[in-house]
Structure 1
Amino acid sequence: MPQRLVVTEMSHEPRKRFAEELRRLRGERGLTLRDLSREVGWDASQFGKMESGSTLGGPEVVQALDQYYGTGPLLLTLWELALGDPTQFKEQYRRYMMLEAEAVSLWQYSVSAPPGLLQTDGYVREALMAGGARGEELEQQVEARVRRRKLLEGDDAPPFRAILSEAVVRMGMRDRRAWRQQLEFLAEAAERPNITIHVLPFGTGVHGLTSTDTMFLRLLDGRVVAYAENDVRGELIEETERVEQLQRAYDAVRDQALSPAESRMFVLRMLEELPCESST
């Protein structure tokens, strides 16, 4: 019986394996961390931490590295394994995230929480902790989520329209200061030229998106896809008929919502109603 060959000396421990693969790919290109930073766009220290294993980074930076190195989904797969929960980003959501990064315009309806693209660090942290995330897992997921905001930043950022149920701006947080920061961020975001925010007041009645967060993405080829999510599941929808049905429901909701100017004033009123923080 022939002797079994050792195919690789790389680690079988997922986190170490991920870091080793990052170092290997950069080494094969003969790049410094600064070179990689210039090519891919993230800070060199971020890549250094990922290669040392002190942080895993977020899915956006990992996807960017896969694209730069031409490694398909390899790094993202290793990242998921290193995260310790391979179901963290299921295939449909992973595909949605890739489409989101390529979208030329986005619009969303939010039931009870600010859209992910408009959540502050403090909101993300409290929401993840409420879901049970702690320690290193918490830090990794916070980092992954807040990086999504970069999609709406810069001169070439795509247009984004968000309709927020009134519940979104009334829900509040345990940390009042963090909630104030979240409302301030929404008010500031509403003034950006590429962001439009509507508030759907209570009392407008039942509608087609009552219990479903829905995001629409218009892609470079003109297609529109949707991602619909409720408390128990999320679904990427690409069938034209179903997407159009959701779009009609979205348009009906927008017709009932406050104007952008009225909506910003509504958010500012919510800020005024918050109890003043006592000075120390």
Structure 2
Amino acid sequence: MGEQVDGEQETGRAVLGRTLRYLRGNAGKSLGQLAEETGYDKSYLSRLEKGERLSKMTVMEDLDGYYKADDLLVSHWRAARLDAFKDQYKRFMRLESTARVMWKFTPAVPGLLQTEDFAREVLSGAQTTADGEDLVEERVAARVGRQYLLRQSPKPDVRIIVDECAFRRRAARAKTWTDQLLHLEAVGMWPNMALQVLPFSAGVHHHMTGSLTLLWQKDGSAVAYREGNGCSELVEDPDEVLRLRLSYDRLRDLALSPSDSLTFIRDELKEHES
């Protein structure tokens, strides 16, 4: 694109911004023209081009279509969103994006299944800085953007166990929680998804303080990722991965079946709406 870039220093977001500027210049458009023809705010587009803001993936899909760039911007966006995560989590996300089989346990609604409004409420918290709102929106975009991997081809085979406590800590806004439950119900019927609820009646268990993810690649290799109490760990040792798989098996034995879990979610939805 005619610019010399220090690849070791330039962030994914900067690369995306540079690509956006190049495509607009190549199309002979001003920011004002681009805003008028795409419907996006001029200042918003300017911040994207400067690498000051991470958009939602749908914005990049729209601009790819506008510039007839295939999925160039979407592919750059997928790299740029990693800027919002810590290094160890970036490696996990790369493995997650290529996994053919994925098992998860979470004590809360998992990020992969959160609606945008629910994710925003979870990530908001107390903001004490002027750029707090932008930071939240960037993290929401990064979180929701991860969900594309559930729709990629070939679709991974996914099993997610969610602790019942996730359903007892509802969103503050009634509509947000209704939409979240409806989304979980819909996801639970996907052919590549087994969604299970771990009820309180199962009693205490060994993953109450955090989440666990197990990933298998096409070649059969497996890793595990644990999060909890403010720390995280990517586990690659085969013996430790096997131990964690067996611990997951025990949780699965205690959880409701996928069909009973759907009934649980629907009952929760009826109770909430009433």
Identity %: 32
**1:22 CA drift (Å):** 3.1
Runs of 4+ in 1 over 4 A off after TM superposition: 12-20, 23-27, 30-33, 64-69
Match status 1:102 vs 2:101? no
Deviation of the 1:132 alpha carbon: 3.9
Letter of the structure 2 residue corresponding to residue 130 of structure 1:
G
Structure 1 residue 273: deviation in Å?
Answer: 0.9
Q: What's the counterpart of residue 122 of structure 1?
A: 117
Q: Which residue of 1 aligns with 2:32?
A: none
Which blocks of at least 5 consecutive residues in structure 1 are unaligned? 1-6, 34-42, 81-87
**TM-score, with normalisation over the residues of structure 2?**
0.74
What code does the residue aligned with 1:125 have? R
Report the CA distance between 1:179 and its aligned residue. 0.6
Q: Which amino acid aligns with 2:116?
A: D
Contact 2:11/2:80 (<8 A) preserved: no
Aligned partner of residue 207 in structure 1, secondary structure: coil
State the partner residue of 2:64: none
Change (3 A) 1:170 1:67: closer
- Size of the aligned set, in residue pairs, is 240
Q: Give the aligned partner of residue 93 of structure 1.
A: 89
Work out whether 1:269 is the aligned partner of 2:267.
yes
Which residue number corresponds to residue 141 of structure 2?
Answer: 143
- 1:51 is matched with 49
SS at match of 2:201: coil
How many angstroms apart in 2 are the aligned matches of 1:140 and 1:52? 15
Instruction: State how far apart, in whole Å, the 2-side matches of 1:20 and 1:166 are.
Output: 42
SS of 2:200's partner is coil
State the 1:76 CA deviation: 4.5
Matched, 1:167 2:165: yes
Match of 1:221 in 2: 219
Aligned residue for 2:35? none
Q: What is the SS of the residue equivalent to 1:144?
A: helix
Instruction: Tell me the secondary structure at the aligned position of residue 228 of structure 1.
Output: strand
Change (3 A) 1:258 1:68: closer
Kindly indicate whether the alpha-carbon contact (under 8 Å) linking 2:215 and 2:224 is maintained by their aligned counterparts in 1.
yes
Counterpart position of 1:212: 210
| Aligned-partner Cα distance in 1 for 2:19–2:99 | 27
Aligned CA distance change for structure 1 residues 52 and 246 (closer, same or farther; 3 Å): same
1:22 aligns with 2:19: yes
Q: CA deviation at 1:147?
A: 1.1
What is the CA–CA distance in structure 1 between the aligned matches of 2:10 and 2:152, rounded to whole Å? Answer: 38
State the Cα deviation string for residues 231-255 of structure 1 (Å, max 9, x = none). Answer: 3111111111111111111000100
- Supply the AA of the counterpart residue of 2:111: G
The superposition leaves residues 15-41 of structure 1 with CA deviations (integer Å, 9 ceiling, x where unpaired) of 9955664358869xx9769xxxxxxxx
| Equivalent pair of 1:110/1:214 in contact (CA under 8 Å) | yes
Aligned residue type for 1:242: E
Shift of 1:204: 1.3
Question: What is the 5 A alignment of 1:173-184?
Answer: 173-184=171-182
C-alpha distance after superposition, 1:71-93 (max 9, x if no partner): xx9x759x73xxxxxxx522110
Shift of 1:56: 2.4
Equivalence for 2:151 = 153
What is the CA–CA distance in structure 2 between the aligned matches of 1:15 and 1:237, rounded to whole Å?
26
How far did residue 66 of structure 1 move?
A: 10
Looking at structure 1, the residues matched to 268 and 13 of structure 2 have their Cα atoms a distance apart, in angstroms, of 47
> AA paired with 2:155?
A
Provide the alpha-carbon RMSD of the alignment.
3.8
What code does the residue aligned with 2:260 have?
A: E
CA contact (8 A) 1:104 1:159 kept: yes
Amino acid at match of 1:189: V
Contact 1:66 1:76 in 2 (8 A): no
Residue of structure 2 in register with 1:36 after alignment: none
Structure 2 letter corresponding to 1:186: L
Mapped to 2, the partners of 1:16 and 1:251 lie a distance apart of 39
CA distance in 2, matches of 1:209, 1:116: 18
Other-structure match for 1:241: 239
Write out per-residue CA displacement over residues 243-277 of structure 1, whole angstroms, 9 at most, x where no aligned residue: 1111111000100111111000001111111144x
CA distance, structure 2, for counterparts of residue 119 and residue 259 of structure 1: 21
